[in-house]
Copies of this chain bind each other. A is one copy, B any other.
Amino acid sequence: MTTIDDVARDAGVSKSTVSNVFSKKRPISKEVSNRVLESARKLEYKPNYWARSLVSKETKIIGLSMQGENTKFGSFHLSLINGVHQTCYKTGYRLLINSVSNEYLNQVENQTSDPVDGEIILDPLVKDRRIEESVKKNRPVVVIGRPPKAYEARVSYVNNDNAGIARDVTRYLIGLGHRRILFLNATENSTVWEDRKLGYQAAHEEAGIPMDDKLVLANDRSSSALLYGLEQTARHLTQDSSITAVIADSDKTALGVYQAAGSRGCRIPEDLSVFAFSDDSSYSPEFQPPLSGVRMNSEALGEEAAKLLLEHCSGQSRSAKRVLIGAELVHRNSCGQASIR
């Protein structure tokens, strides 16, 4: 491996001159500059990333932090990543998928600081260690979704209006005559769970319909999203014949709802209406009829998050900002008038 010393020797100049030819941080005569560049090319020299980072205190890498153990990216995350990457790409930042198993991380010998200038945090929890740590270390951070209340004013974030969306969806279903709507809400302890519940609640209140807390569930992640939808729907439909609609937190969950309905001869939308917080697989033939859902515009979510983070990394902005990304309800054929079963 060629080092800066090799180049300096070859070009007959000092290390700092070589350094400055590359960094352009102080003027170097055309003549010397060319000589150095020539040597560098000849020796195939490239400044060492880590040595440079060590002293400059920046890595030009931003991290993407997934929530929980062993998580996989879904189609929602895919466009989100594309959005983030898009922004990184132009600005010379690299994107690190920053998630390593706790099993590995918990070994002392694997402990290290993170090799990133800042971090984008996915799927924030009501109490989220990742956010707490970033703030404590004073490291730039942007949350996708709403941060915990205590951090809302201190941390930048990009979000959909989840409460508003949930209210609109619920209002729509109530408008169709549904009175008891099962809500297969998001992951336990996530802030999005809270927000969506608020919206669900608001729609009930404005319609003067009593809301049953027991109808608002949480995904404990003990099994797959599909099973969450399948099992909970089956259980509640059996126990409670007054339920005429289900709101599902993702397309996979909605698929579980479809299966549960199907296996008990319950027709969609005649007997049961279904709405999902997703617009990714809604078209899939597994969904018969096509699933009504919400388009969240996740690519924009990612793009804006990256922009905010880079502003913070470059020190352009120290203040916590908030960006709201619009979302639209997409109506297909999975919802209908409530009917008594």
CB of A88 within 8 Å of the partner chain: yes
Name the residue of chain B whose CB is nearest to the CB of A282. Answer: B285
**Known A73-B81, A78-B73, A285-B283: A112·B54 in contact at CB below 8 Å:** no
Q: Which of B73, B95, B110, B286 contacts A92 (CB 8 A)?
A: B110
CB of A263 within 8 Å of the partner chain: no
**Contact segment of A21-29, A237-245, A312-320:** A21-29
What is the interface size of chain A, counting residues whose CB is below 8 A from a CB of the partner? 55
Whether B53 and A50, one on each chain, are in contact in the complex, defined by CB atoms closer than 8 angstroms, is: yes
Between A and B, 19 residue pairs with Cβ closer than 8 Å are A22-B111, A46-B111, A46-B113, A47-B113, A49-B115, A61-B115, A70-B89, A72-B82, A81-B97, A85-B97, A89-B99, A89-B101, A92-B101, A94-B96, A94-B98, A115-B115, A283-B283, A283-B284, A284-B284
Tell me the bound Cα distance from A78 to B225 in angstroms.
18
CB of A224 within 8 Å of the partner chain: no
CB of A16 within 8 Å of the partner chain: no
Whether A22 and B109, one on each chain, are in contact in the complex, defined by CB atoms closer than 8 angstroms, is: yes
Which A residues from 91 to 130 make CB contacts under 8 A with B? 91-101, 103-105, 108-115
Whether B72 and A91, one on each chain, are in contact in the complex, defined by CB atoms closer than 8 angstroms, is: no
Whether B97 and A92, one on each chain, are in contact in the complex, defined by CB atoms closer than 8 angstroms, is: no
Whether B114 and A49, one on each chain, are in contact in the complex, defined by CB atoms closer than 8 angstroms, is: yes
Tell me the bound Cα distance from A109 to B95 in angstroms.
20
Which A residues from 304 to 340 make CB contacts under 8 A with B? none
Tell me the bound Cα distance from A290 to B286 in angstroms.
12
**Known A50-B54, A104-B92, A108-B22: A85·B99 in contact at CB below 8 Å:** yes
Known: A50-B53, A61-B115. 16 other contacts (CB 8 A): A22-B109, A22-B111, A23-B109, A51-B54, A54-B54, A85-B97, A92-B104, A92-B105, A92-B110, A94-B96, A94-B98, A96-B97, A283-B283, A283-B284, A283-B285, A283-B286
CB of A235 within 8 Å of the partner chain: no
Please indicate the chain B residues that have their CB under 8 angstroms from the CB of A105 in the complex: 92
